[in-house]
Amino acid sequence: MDRTQGAFYRVVRRELDRMVSRRLYFGVCIALPLFCILFMTTIFGSGQMENIPIGIVDLDQTATSRQISRTIATVPTSRVTARYADAKAARDAVQKKEIYAYVVIPHNFESDLLGGRNVALPYYYHFALLSVGIELHSAFETVLANLSVAPVAAAGIGQGASERRIESFILPVNLQAHPLFNPSLDYSIYLTNPFFFVLFQIVILLVTMYVLGSEIKFKTAADWLETADANIFTAVTGKLLPYTAIFIAMGILGNFVMFGIAGLPLGTGFLPVNLATALFIVATQAFGVFIFSLFPALSIIISIASMVGSLGATLSGVTFPVPYMYAPIYYLSFLFPVRHFVEINQNILYGDYGFAYTWQNASCLFVFMLAALLMLPHLKRAILSRKYENIE
């Protein structure tokens, strides 16, 4: 046991010497995670989309059309940046992304409105950008719905009807919306935390695979194994331990900044969310070890790590519920640690429903560690064979 401990400490000390010998390690282990924390806590600003550029095509040029234009301009989601002489010019501006929506006030709009004839107030918006399109659609529906009932209300009041009676006629059913866990519809509440860890898992995968692959690439793997007394478990765990400590510290710092300083709501204390963070980081490192053991060549594995990290972002379930994805994609998502971490974190953040709702995801994260352990003999054989050292 003492010999194994001595070998473990020697591997850790050797890795620490390698870390301080190159500024690259400082950049990817500390500077890059700090940038991710800063980026994700500031990217959403006030938490809602504001001042999205839109245009107005006023073909009527009447007092009513000017009032409609002023009303549309008061919506905080959008900002009227241009007025166009015809719909074609506005459409061209949307295609060039100079604006993202426009409203057309047609000819004879006021006269048709006062004459009691049916009138339409069309609006067009860029829906290829899903988030922008949804925000603009919601904003237009809100402001134009009020404009559409205003003439009816004015006519009713003019004929002596009470406002209460008009309201019950125009809006016979009152709808009440109660957005759970995020009543202000703040983007940062449900995107900042998971997106930070989506970026973070890419960093963890790349660093894990690089520090392992560099031993083979630069032909120092034999010395690495010799330092560990030819024990591959000691070699891998001792090598990755300094990075584990740094990444856990960065993860805890990120949680503190997001929940303690930025004020994102937290349904429980810091201990559960930090424990989940530590488990996620170790599982992601284990996932990196597993993949590297399959393809122990640095030039190949970096591309694979980037691809896997990008897929993890898609399959994390942040922007689309994973259970409702196409069935093969749903089962594929179980192969990514970040997918399980996001589900654990959402349970903790939104309601702290308890271990009964998270034990399956927590168990899956431990499975990644077991899978990495099972691949260590294969990794050792690959190192001893030296056949991957000359792969460019």
Residues spanned by the domain of 343 = 2-44+186-385
Tell me the sheet residues that pair with 57: 84, 104
214, two tokens: 């560099």
In whole angstroms, give the CA distance from residue 47 to residue 70. 25
Pairwise pLDDT comparison (26 vs 143), residue with the higher score: 26
pLDDT for the residue 285: 96
Residue 121 belongs to some domain of the structure? yes
Sheet holding 78-84, edge to edge: 78-84, 52-58, 101-105, 123-125
With a CB cutoff of 8 Å and minimum separation 6, the contacts of 6 are none
Same domain? 16 vs 71: no
Domain end position, chosen among 108, 141, 170:
170
In whole angstroms, give the CA distance from residue 169 to residue 162. 11
In whole angstroms, give the CA distance from residue 71 to residue 143. 8
pLDDT for the residue 231: 92
Q: Name the least confident of 22-31, 159-168, 175-184, 266-275.
A: 159-168
With a CB cutoff of 8 Å and minimum separation 6, the contacts of 360 are none
In whole angstroms, give the CA distance from residue 285 to residue 290. 9
DSSP assignments along 195-264, one per residue: HHHHHHHHHHHHHHHHHHHHHHHTT-HHHHHHHTTT-HHHHHHHHHHHHHHHHHHHHHHHHIIIIIIS--
DSSP 3-state assignment of 101? strand
Residue 291: pLDDT over 60: yes
Angle at 119 between CA 114 and CA 120, to 5 degrees: 145
Residue 291 belongs to some domain of the structure? yes
Residue 14: pLDDT over 90: yes
For 328-355, b/e burial (b = at least 16 CB within 10 A) is: eebeebebbbbbbbbbbbbbbbbeeeee
DSSP 3-state assignment of 52? strand
21, two tokens: 């010998």
Same domain? 297 vs 363: yes
Residue 178 belongs to some domain of the structure? no
pLDDT band at 193 (very low <50, low <70, confident <90, very high): confident
Residue 65 belongs to some domain of the structure? yes
Domains identified in the chain, total number = 2
User: What digits encode the pLDDT tens for the residues 207-235?
Assistant: 999 999 888 888 888 899 999 999 999 99
Same domain? 88 vs 218: no
- The CATH number that applies at residue 98 is 3.40.1710.10
At position 321, the amino acid (one-letter code) is P
pLDDT for the residue 31: 94
Q: Name the least confident of 7-16, 152-161, 255-264.
A: 152-161
With a CB cutoff of 8 Å and minimum separation 6, the contacts of 106 are 59, 60, 119, 120, 121, 122
Residue 391 belongs to some domain of the structure? no
Same domain? 202 vs 63: no
Angle at 43 between CA 38 and CA 44, to 5 degrees: 130
Mean pLDDT for the chain? 84
Same domain? 40 vs 122: no
Same domain? 106 vs 15: no
At position 89, the amino acid (one-letter code) is A
**Beta-strand relationship, 101-105 and 52-58:** parallel
Residue 298: pLDDT over 60: yes
Residue 146: pLDDT over 70: no
**Which is nearest to 48 in space by CA: 18, 77, 25?**
77
Same domain? 6 vs 94: no
**Which is nearest to 43 in space by CA: 257, 185, 188?**
188
Asked if residues 86 and 113 have their Cβ atoms less than 8 Å apart, the reply is no
